[in-house]
């Protein structure tokens, strides 16, 4: 089971008057440039990894492991684009179906009002209102057909990209790229100020891939027993920063025991049947954020043993406005206990709300572990419903998504009575 833990890197002074953040900044920009060049060679020029790895590494002064880090990060972005494209096609398909149904409904309404107009004379008092309703329906029908055409064009474009295996990536995000056309609205005083943010966004992170057959699980950034991280400097920066950058006393607030466990070697068997020393592979991602540079370590930890079962019942959790509701049942489904856990959500930051929910859920999990019962939660997926919301009546849109804010849900397992809640999530 892969887990990622983070910590903030301290700023270390180097012997030549520079600091560790100077190298991270320069290498981040360099890594971003190489990533975009590699994207061109892989997905525009259609070259293979084996044909360009050696020449690309030698030309740009990077090691084979640094090249693999480039390739793996780029492949991750490519896979993300492909999966997101499939999701968009599914969403567009649902929207197209909803718009087509809406067009059919408006066509029937158009025919209905057209028949009413034919039965009325111009002198009839209802004639003017009937004509007005007819024209409104024609206008709505015209807009629905335009919307359908646009959705079909978007879907066809995505399907064509899949057929020809075309990948579109905006390094730095499309949202930030378009902000340069509306500088004042986005809080920029000049185009140079936006350009600085754009360049920072494109150089804000880089990956260091590890392997189990390398010392401490990562050849380019070994994390030793003294909690010192040694980062391998790229060849083209060795004259300025030396061969290595050292980060001393690197500690992770969460997950430190698992990273310490990854430092311990074990004896494994190679494909040839010979014994060999291995470590757990650790992959590091260096990310620049507002407060400085952060280190994200991904390590493979053992999956904990299952200590609960649903044979003796279960414990259900329901999310409400400002509190969690937990209900314990026996193996026959009979309620045994119900309790509420306060979770402050109003006038709080997103991080504070997440921490409050985490504390509440943790208390339920500890109780479930003590009782040996599994925890059950709702698996609500409104992606298809949300895609068709634009064609539904506005009066019912508030009922098909969101959280029920009623104090007691309808058909409550304890109360067993109607409370007036009409939220469809229940």
pLDDT at 419 over 60: no
pLDDT at 396 over 60: no
pLDDT at 31 over 90: yes
**Looking at the DSSP assignment, which residues form a beta bridge with residue 318?**
325
394 falls in which pLDDT band (50, 70, 90)? low
Cα separation, 59 vs 53, whole angstroms: 10
Q: Residue 34: exposed, middle, or buried by beta-carbon count in 10 A (0-12, 13-18, 19+)?
A: buried
Nearest to 250 by CA among 263, 264, 234: 263
pLDDT given at position 392: 66
pLDDT given at position 393: 60
What tens digit of pLDDT does each residue of 278-310 get?
899 999 999 999 889 999 999 998 887 888 888
Question: What is the overall mean pLDDT for the chain?
Answer: 86
pLDDT given at position 339: 93
What integer is the mean pLDDT of 318-331? 89
The two tokens of residue 262 are 């990854």
411 falls in which pLDDT band (50, 70, 90)? very low
Cα separation, 45 vs 39, whole angstroms: 9
Nearest to 11 by CA among 245, 274, 334: 245
What integer is the mean pLDDT of 339-347? 88
424 falls in which pLDDT band (50, 70, 90)? very low
What tens digit of pLDDT does each residue of 377-391 get?
877 777 777 777 767
CATH number of 309-379: 3.30.420.40
Domain chopping of the chain, boundaries: 309-379
Cα separation, 238 vs 319, whole angstroms: 54
Q: What percent of the chain has pLDDT over 90?
A: 62
pLDDT at 412 over 60: no
The pTM of this model reads 0.76
Per the model's pLDDT, the better-predicted residue between 151 and 322 turns out to be 151
What integer is the mean pLDDT of 312-335? 90
Q: Do 207 and 285 form a contact (C-beta atoms < 8 A)?
A: yes
Span of 211-215, 263-267, 268-272 with lowest mean pLDDT: 268-272
């Amino acid at each position: 089971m892969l887990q990622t833990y983070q910590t903030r890197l301290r700023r270390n002074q180097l012997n030549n008057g520079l600091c560790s953040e100077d190298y991270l900044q320069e290498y981040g920009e360099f890594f971003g440039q190489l990533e975009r060049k590699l994207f061109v060679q892989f997905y525009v020029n259609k070259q293979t990894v084996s044909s360009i790895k050696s020449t690309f590494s030698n030309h740009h002064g990077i090691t084979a492991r640094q090249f693999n880090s480039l390739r793996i990060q780029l492949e991750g972005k490519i896979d993300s684009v492909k999966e997101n494209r499939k999701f968009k096609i599914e969403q567009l398909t649902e929207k197209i179906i909803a718009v087509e149904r809406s067009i059919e409904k408006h066509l029937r309404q158009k025919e209905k009002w057209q028949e009413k107009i034919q039965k009325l004379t111009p002198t009839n008092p209802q004639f003017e209102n009937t004509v007005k309703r007819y024209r409104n329906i024609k206008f709505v029908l015209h807009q629905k057909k335009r919307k359908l055409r646009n959705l079909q064009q978007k879907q066809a474009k995505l399907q064509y990209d899949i057929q020809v295996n075309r990948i579109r990536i905006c390094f730095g995000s499309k949202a930030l790229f378009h902000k340069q056309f509306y500088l004042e609205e986005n809080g920029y005083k000049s185009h140079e100020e936006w350009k600085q943010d754009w360049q920072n966004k494109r150089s804000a992170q880089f990956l260091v891939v590890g392997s189990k057959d390398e010392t401490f699980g990562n050849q380019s950034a070994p994390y030793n027993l003294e909690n010192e991280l040694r980062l391998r400097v790229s060849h083209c920066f060795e004259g300025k920063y030396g061969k290595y950058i050292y980060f001393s006393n690197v500690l992770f607030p969460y997950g430190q025991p698992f990273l310490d466990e990854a430092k311990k070697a074990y004896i494994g068997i190679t494909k040839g049947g010979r014994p060999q020393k291995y470590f757990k592979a650790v992959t590091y991602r260096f990310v620049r954020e507002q407060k400085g540079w952060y280190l994200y370590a991904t390590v493979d930890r053992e999956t904990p043993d299952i200590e609960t079962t649903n044979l003796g019942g279960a414990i259900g959790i329901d999310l409400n406005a400002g509190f969690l509701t937990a209900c314990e049942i026996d193996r026959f489904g009979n309620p045994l206990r119900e309790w509420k856990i306060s979770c402050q959500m109003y006038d709080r930051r997103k991080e504070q709300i997440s921490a409050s929910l985490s504390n509440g859920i943790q208390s339920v999990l500890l109780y479930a572990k003590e009782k040996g019962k599994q925890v059950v939660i709702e698996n609500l997926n409104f992606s298809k419903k949300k895609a068709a919301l634009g064609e539904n009546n506005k009066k019912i849109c508030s009922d098909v998504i969101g959280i029920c804010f009623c104090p007691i849900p309808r058909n409550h397992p304890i109360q067993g009575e109607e409370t007036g809640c009409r939220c469809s999530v229940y």
